[in-house]
């Protein structure tokens, strides 16, 4: 049985826009063009271990599309990433054995000439074995 909406919880990753950072198109909140060009971004999100996980169930992290090149994906400072994954449009990682009660997800993206950002969703799936 594959993941479905009944057994998933989503990890929302905040965007970078805001008065202190300027918008993602390089303009500040006052309409001026930002002088700093963003080459790399890191999204960080803290989350608790999903509750109600039964014996044999797995927790998978699904990462949607990014603009730029994905450099690393880490859970609790442990890399999930393989160098071959840099240009994959979306991917999934089994994070079951890396989770603790309190967790930190970090996604690092390099611009490669583009403004680096997440464009797809980031989800945690609880997968029940078939």
Place of tokens 């000439």: 113
Domains of the chain: 5-127 (2.60.120.260)
Q: C-alpha distances in angstroms, 21 versus 3, 15, 44, 88?
A: 36, 11, 16, 28
Q: Give the pLDDT band (50/70/90) at residue 68.
A: confident
- pLDDT surpasses 60 at 73: yes
Look up residue 120 and give its two tokens. Answer: 């797809």
- pLDDT surpasses 60 at 5: no
DSSP-assigned letters across all residues of 91-115: EEEE-GGG--SEEEEEEEEE-TTS-
Pick from 38, 12, 47, 58: nearest CA to 117:
38
- pLDDT surpasses 80 at 7: no
């Amino acid at each position: 049985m594959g993941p479905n909406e009944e057994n998933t919880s989503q990890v929302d990753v905040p965007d970078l826009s805001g008065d202190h950072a300027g918008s993602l198109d390089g303009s500040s909140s006052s309409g001026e063009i930002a002088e700093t060009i963003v080459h790399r971004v890191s999204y960080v999100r803290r989350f608790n271990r999903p509750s109600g996980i039964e014996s044999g169930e797995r927790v998978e992290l699904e990462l949607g599309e990014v603009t730029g090149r994905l450099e690393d994906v880490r859970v609790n400072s442990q890399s999930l990433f393989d160098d071959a994954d840099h240009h994959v449009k979306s991917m999934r990682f089994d994070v079951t054995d890396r989770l603790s009660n309190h967790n930190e997800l970090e996604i690092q993206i390099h611009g490669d000439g583009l403004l680096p950002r997440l464009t797809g969703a980031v989800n945690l799936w609880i997968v029940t074995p078939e």
